[in-house]
Amino acid sequence: MAQDKVTIKIPRPLYHKIRQIIDDSGFNSPTDFIVYVLRDVISEKGAENREQFSPEELSILKKKLRNLGYLD
């Protein structure tokens, strides 16, 4: 699993600031907080540029619409 992750460096004062912010916030660590925030940002950016469906999602959707009689 360690191979699924990379190390990113951030300035130490920012790290300390994040630790203050996440106190009693529900985030276990600065890493959790940073990953959460980045996923949010990427989601917003991705919504503008992303393909609507993955190939698997498209296949499922087509089958669903055919079962409903909406597609041949």
Question: In the numeric block, which tokens belong to residue 53?
Answer: 């469906």
Question: For residue 54, how far is the Cα from the chain centroid?
Answer: 15
Q: By C-beta, is 15 or 53 nearer to other proteins?
A: 53
Q: How far is the CB of 25 from other proteins (least distance, A)?
A: 4
Where does this chain bind other proteins (CB under 8 A)? 21, 24-28, 32, 35-36, 39-40, 43-44, 46-48, 50, 52-53, 58, 61, 64-65, 67-71
End-to-end Cα separation, the chain, in angstroms: 43
- Asked if residues 57 and 45 have their Cβ atoms less than 8 Å apart, the reply is no
Q: How far is the CB of 11 from other proteins (least distance, A)?
A: 21
